[in-house]
Amino acid sequence: MVIIAPSLLSCDFAKMGEEVKRMEDAGADWMHIDVMDGHFVPNITIGAPVVKSLKKVMNSVADVHLMISDPLKYAEDFAAAGADYITFHVESDSDPVETINRIRELGCRPSISVKPMTPAEVIYPYLDLVDMVLVMTVEPGFGGQSFMADMMPKVKAIREECERRGLHDMIIEVDGGIDTNTVSVAAKAGANAFVSGSAVFKAPDAEEIIKELKEKATV
């Protein structure tokens, strides 16, 4: 199963609802929503009320990526807003096990993310508890950065560790600099969900690029 998740961070914020529709019509599987608090990362983006409004027009999965210092505190707001997957960072201030349990209790799918400088092993204690791992392929905070190919051994190590534990359904998502060239590199390393912001939104034909991303991600 290959998942393509356009990152709404790169959409036209003046017409977000239409952008969601445009991406869904173009074949996107999930909508990736980047939540930044100006503290965990330097940027501030969107919050739970915006997710709630978007959900009214969204037929795809809401893949909420919390780049915030206290995900445990805000998990409830995003669950109530309609998030399907809630990803938080292992580097945040919240206790990972408590946060994972809270997200599940709220009826959402928990996912844990690692920044580029964080080694894979840091999340191994939580692998049996989550439905997805998000490996950042850029420093979180901004769209439009270059893909860090040196994160591929990390993706590979996490995939192998999941297989060793019998976690064959684990989704490994990559986020940052994914385009029609880098998608195959990440897929070969073991990723099966691909966030793409600028490449998808800047493309003249969204349907064409999503199709190409899917083809190239199928290994």
Q: Which residues bind ligand DX5 (CB under 6 A)?
A: 7, 9-10, 32, 34, 65, 138, 140-145, 175-178, 195-199
Residue 176 binds which entry of Zn ion, ligand DX5, none, with Cβ cut-offs from 5 to 8 Å by kind? ligand DX5
Find out whether 57 and 20 touch, Cβ atoms under 8 Å. Answer: yes
Which of 176, 164, 186 lies closest to 113, judged by CA?
176
| Least spacing, CB of residue 68 vs ligand DX5, in Å | 12
- At 2, which amino acid appears? V
Element (H, E) at 61: strand 61-67
| Least spacing, CB of residue 203 vs Zn ion, in Å | 18
Residue 141 binds which entry of ligand DX5, Zn ion, none, with Cβ cut-offs from 5 to 8 Å by kind? ligand DX5
Which of 29, 34, 37, 179 is labelled catalytic? Answer: 34
Find out whether 183 and 217 touch, Cβ atoms under 8 Å. Answer: yes
Q: Which is nearer to ligand DX5, 85 or 97 (CB)?
A: 85
Residue 144 binds which entry of Zn ion, ligand DX5, none, with Cβ cut-offs from 5 to 8 Å by kind? ligand DX5
Using CB under 5 A, list all residues that contact Zn ion: 34, 65, 175
The answer to whether residue 34 is catalytic is yes
Find out whether 31 and 22 touch, Cβ atoms under 8 Å. Answer: no
State the Cα torsion 131-137-140-146 to the nearest 10°. -150
How far does CA 92 lie from the centroid of its chain?
Answer: 16
The answer to whether residue 175 is catalytic is yes
Residue 5 binds which entry of Zn ion, ligand DX5, none, with Cβ cut-offs from 5 to 8 Å by kind? none
Separation of alpha carbons 180 and 117, rounded Å: 25
Which of 29, 63, 175, 179 is labelled catalytic? Answer: 175
| Least spacing, CB of residue 31 vs Zn ion, in Å | 11
Task: List, by residue number, the catalytic residues.
Answer: 34, 175
